[in-house]
Amino acid sequence: MLSPMSIDTNSRRPVGAPSARPIHPAYRRRMRLADTLQVLCVVSVAIVVAIFLADGGAARFTTPSETLTSMGIVSGLVGSDLLLVMLLLAARLPLIDRAFGHDRAMAVHQSLGKPALYLLLAHAALLIGGYALADNSTLPAEMWTMLTQLPDMPLAFVGLALLIVVVISSIVVVRRRFRYEALHAVHLLAYLAVLVSIPHQLSVGGLLRDGSIQRYYWLALYVAVAGSVLLFRFIIPVVRSIRHRLVVTGVDRVAPGVVSIRLGGRHLRALNASSGQFFIWRFWTPGLWWQAHPFSLSAAPGGDSLRITVRGLGDASVKLPALPRGTRVSFEGPYGLFTERARTSPRIVLVAAGIGVAPIRSLLESASFEPGGATVLLRSPSLGDRYLADEMAELCARRGATLRVIAGHRPPGVDSWLPADAAAAGITLATLVPELREADLYVCGPRRWTDAVVRDARSAGMPGRQIHYERFDW
């Protein structure tokens, strides 16, 4: 159905760029998977609307009250479907992680939050209005009638209220950069909101009536989503944590507040982790066990050891360097597409700022390239505050990669990823790395800085499929 041509979505290929280079087969497979998942998502919305139409819904737009009621039903169906898509995106399905990466999946998840909420608010408002018109009563009176006369409506109202709380607080948490745990706790409410809204969907409207095919379809959707969440967010992480018995084997100071944590465990090859991926870690020590932190691997994963390099924020900055040896570690992961699996080109350009050097270092260790086929750009405000600088220099020398250290403060007011003098001199990614177009670019750093690098790469005519970045704020 999808020809190989369909994956070349970039039409901005600059004149003179090598065009005949074959597209990496792994990339082609990944794009086919991503396309399939996107099509499924859109079709799932079409299916719920089709369910309404198949029930003769198109004929129920004759009176104002019927019209409002029908629109309310459709918005409820679509809103609920989007909510389920959101839950799936957050369920860390291996398929979704492989196709889009955690970062992009969560970006889509975030972008669906408000539309889903608006649709469900419209669902409530339209049905209250439609029913009030039909019963010839006022809106508050109709709301009261619905709450008291209709089955399962109190729960449904509770569900909507919870959803409002979840979406608003998520926006606040994301904006204010609250801790990850706050977002996590709030999102547990979302599961509750979805759960308590199920009974009224089955009992109030006739669309999903007992014994109908659509009722089974609807229930199957919920069972599939609940199963995925349970399996991939709870069962598999717990089973893996128990099986692999990870413990802290050592903590090495890298800089003030920055440490490399070495972890030992069993059968770690079975995790299929790759350089550049991250896990969500939980250290079972007093004061830390209740927090989970996403940290990237800073060394290629071994059969019985892993290493992460972290800059602790807040109280973790004090507690992480003091982690005792032997501390048990549980984890979720590995996640992310910031890996060799995303490669499309023979050359590689690795760009890191701050603690973003961690996944870049592990990538450098295991990425495939000919000597001279890799460039590493390390960006820092001053020469002093680079992390893992010695390790990076040694690795670059060993693997034949070009290392460039770019130090200096960014120009104020200008959105550049380079120091002020470099930006003023017209230096760009393309002037720093002339072979950019035959390379895959991997960028890791703070969100705004990463965005600036990606913009620079795009304006140099680099196709989107060659640009890889993973931004995490937590």
Partner 1 sequence: MRAAAFAALASLSVLGAGWELGIQAGVTNHSATATGSTAMGSTATGSTAVPTTPGQPTTSAQPPATATAPSGTFTGTVAQTQFGNVQVAVTIADGRITDVTALQLTDQDGRSVSISNRAAPILRDEVLSAQSANVQNVGGATYTSSGYVQSLQSALDAARF
Strands (E), 178-245: none
Nearest to 295 by CA among 105, 468, 472: 472
412 near partner 1, rule: CB under 8 A: no
**DSSP string over 346-371:** SEEEEEEEGGGHHHHHHHHHH----T
Q: Does 50 bind partner 1 (CB under 8 A)?
A: yes
Q: Return the percent helix, strand and coil in the chain, to nearest 5.
A: 55, 15, 30
The three-class DSSP label of residue 62 is: coil
Q: Does 115 bind partner 1 (CB under 8 A)?
A: no
Does the protein bind partner 1 through residue 338 (CB under 8 A)? no
Please report whether residue 26 would count as binding partner 1 according to CB under 8 A. no
Of 107 and 247, nearer to partner 1 (C-beta) is 107
The answer to whether the CB of 89 falls within 8 A of the CB of 187 is no
Q: Is 25 in the site for partner 1 (CB under 8 A)?
A: no
Q: Which is nearer to partner 1, 145 or 291 (CB)?
A: 145
52 counts as binding partner 1 under rule CB under 8 A: yes
Cβ 42 to partner 1 shortest distance, Å: 4
- Per CB under 8 A, the list member of 54, 141, 220, 238 interacting with partner 1 is 54
Residue 133, interface with partner 1 (CB under 8 A)?
A: yes
CB 468 within 8 A of CB 440: yes
Q: Interface with partner 1 includes 28 (CB under 8 A)?
A: no
Whether residue 379 contacts residue 404, with contact meaning beta carbons closer than 8 Å, is answered with no
Q: Is 43 in the site for partner 1 (CB under 8 A)?
A: yes
Three-state SS for 295? Answer: strand
Q: Is 45 in the site for partner 1 (CB under 8 A)?
A: yes
Mode of pairing for the β-strands spanning 246-255 and 293-296: unpaired
Choose one: 57-65, 291-299, 359-367, 451-459; the region binding partner 1 (CB under 8 A): 57-65
Contact 277, 296 (CB under 8 A): yes
Mask of contacts with partner 1, 178-207, x by CB under 8 A?
----------------------x--xxxx-
Q: Token pair of 158, please?
A: 């509770």
Spatial distance between the Cα atoms of 117 and 79, rounded to a whole number of angstroms: 7
Task: Name which of 47 and 189 has its Cβ closer to partner 1.
Answer: 47
Q: What angle do CA 303, 309, 315 make, to 5 degrees?
A: 125
Residue of the chain from 22, 149, 175, 412 that contacts partner 1 (CB under 8 A): 149
Which residues contact partner 1 by CB under 8 A? 1-3, 5-6, 9, 34-35, 38-39, 42-43, 45-47, 49-59, 65, 131, 133-136, 145-146, 149-152, 200, 203-206, 209
